[in-house]
Amino acid sequence: MKHLSILNDILGPVIRGPSSSHTGGSFFIGRLARDLLGEELVRARIVFDAQGSYGRVCRQQKCDLGFAAGLLGWEITDSRFSEALYIASRSGLKIDFELASLPEADHPNFILLELAGSSGQEIKLKARSVGGGLVEIIELQGWPVQIRGDRYDYLFLIPEKEKEALRNFLGSFLIQTERIDFQERGEEVLTHIISCVSLNPDLIETIKNKFNLKGFWSCQPLRLVASGKPLFRSATEALILAEKEKKTLGELAIAYESQILGLKESEIKKELGQRLEIMKQAVAYGLKKDLPLQLLRPTAHLIFQTEKEGKLACGGPLTRAAARAMAAQHTAASMGVVCAAPTAGSAGTLPGVMVTLLEDKGLSQEKAIEALAAAGAVGLIVGYRATFAAEVAGCQVEIGAAGAMGAAAVVQAAGGLARQAFDAASISFQNTMGSVCDLVQGICEIPCHTRNALAAASSFICADLILGGYENPIPFDETIDAVYEVGKMLPQELKVTSLAGLALCPSAQSLKRREE
């Protein structure tokens, strides 16, 4: 069962754009694969499924750079990111990308990786990027596994006759919170230790020497380890708890995160403050004139300045929120650092909302952190009940989800109740249901930037409708379930593949990429 974290999975991870599934997901798969190889990497073969979305958008969404940076062992915020392929080649790392029919592919972002190390060590694994920067290794050396980068993973391949001896040995050393899986195949057993803490190196060496080890692989977590029990997994559960404990949704979200990560609430607030700072920086960077977008000309700064001069038809906070959201999305599209909130393709909406609350509404830092937490709580429920992958359910679960999160943040900032925050999120989702992902030329710019802008502005309207008295008849849990079902019904042509919708308009197809 999933144990989601707001910081890990909803207001993060912190990544580089333009895509959390493709840029971020590629990076994280690369990092895990490098760890599992366990030595200096010299060759990598990465195969995309011909029917999936990876192969169609690899270059446009910087999958190639993501894989290269991850395989090099960098941090995703490394300033050399745009040069990762060049530096990999110069350092002797050969990376080949291929497109082939993979009958076993069970996800649009399914990939096959074959790695070779400096001493001749080789591994073969299958993985998938499942949305919002979340990834899974599902097969290693032909063995089914489940490695998500959310724990310390240790895998020991031993003779079948050693199984019980190893089980007994581990039972005397490992604490109860750790899980041990055993798989048998012929005369071999794969022992997979999944731990919230790193194992003592001496223990690992003892196992290697004592049990006729035939293979060993390990990898470290990519993010904070969520080892606690979730306070809630649905809006219904959250509302019962909020009423019982007299908490706002923001306060409840901070309590949730404290319990799931085992950190003090003050530490959670500090981490949330850091995410807020990244959002503010993304807006500021995106308001610059010259950014390396591929199709669009950066215009957020023009809109913002024209509004400031009073030359727009309406103007005001909603327009400024839209311009700020577009600015943050400009940052994501130009490989800038953003919070996947909940994805890179929707990374502009929440920054647009939050910076507007801070700068136009005079919200304090403390209240802004609570508003951001409330947004995270809404995202949690989406994560538990649905997906953040447009490849699975369309744009509605990316920018649509971000808009719902933004609406809850505005209600929280205005002093609203938890129920009102969820209701605002509900009507936001109800009005983006069915939205498709038809990005032009496989690039997260058209229509992504304007959709983020509208989602940010709409967050304030949805909040006002609820705070003003509108009675939402369909609760948030049911709304999410409906959105998810609709998303699964959408044809694959309308889910990131750029095979329908605006992507097929002659004007869209004739646009020239600036990198060319």
The domains found in the chain, sorted by start residue, are 7-146 (3.30.1330.90), 151-220 (3.30.70.260), 235-276+341-510 (no CATH)
Rounded to two decimals, the pTM is 0.90
Helices (H), 135-261: 163-171, 201-210, 235-245, 249-261
- The band of 492, judged by pLDDT with boundaries at 50, 70 and 90, is very high
Residue 127 to residues 105, 206, 343, 417: CA-CA distances in angstroms?
Answer: 10, 30, 19, 41
Q: What share of the chain in percent tops pLDDT 70? A: 99
Cα separation, 177 vs 279, whole angstroms: 35
Tokens of 55: 């192969």
In DSSP notation, 305-351 reads HHHHTT-SSS-SHHHHHHHHHHHHHHHHHTT-EEE-SS-STTTTHHH
Residue at 260: amino acid letter: I
What does the pLDDT read at residue 171?
A: 81
- What does the block give as tokens for 88? 């990999």
What is the distance between the alpha carbons of residues 469 and 131, in angstroms, rounded to a whole number? Answer: 35
477 — pLDDT class (breaks 50, 70, 90) = very high
- Give me the mean pLDDT over the 69-79 stretch: 96
CA-CA distance, 480 to 388, in Å (whole number)? Answer: 11
Encoded amino acid at 376, one letter: G
The predicted pLDDT at position 396 comes to 98
- Secondary structure (DSSP) of 359-413: HTS---HHHHHHHHHHHHHHHHHHHHHS-S-HHHH-GGGTHHHHHHHHHHHHHHH
At 515, the pLDDT band (50, 70, 90 cuts) reads low
- Do residues 53 and 391 lie in contact, with contact meaning Cβ atoms separated by under 8 Å? yes
111 in Cβ contact with 101 (< 8 Å): no
Instruction: Report the C-alpha gap between 41 and 70 in whole angstroms.
Output: 11
Nearest to 406 by CA among 345, 342, 364, 353: 353
Report which residue type is found at 110.
F
Q: Give the relative orientation of helices 399-413 and 365-385 as an angle to the nearest 10 degrees.
A: 140
Q: Compute how many other C-beta atoms are within 10 angstroms of the C-beta atom of residue 359.
A: 14
Q: Do residues 163 and 189 lie in contact, with contact meaning Cβ atoms separated by under 8 Å?
A: yes
pLDDT at 516: 44
pLDDT, tens only, 32-68: 999 999 999 999 999 999 988 888 888 888 999 999 9
Strand-pairing partners, residue 185, are 188
Contact by Cβ (8 Å): 109, 391: yes
Query: Which two three-digit tokens encode residue 179?
Result: 């899980």
Give the integer Cα–Cα distance in Å for 129 and 137: 9
Mean pLDDT of 93-104: 94
Residue 289 near residue 303, CB atoms below 8 Å: no
* Residue 193: strand, helix, or coil: strand
- 369-373: average pLDDT: 99
324 closest CA partner among 287, 375, 364: 287
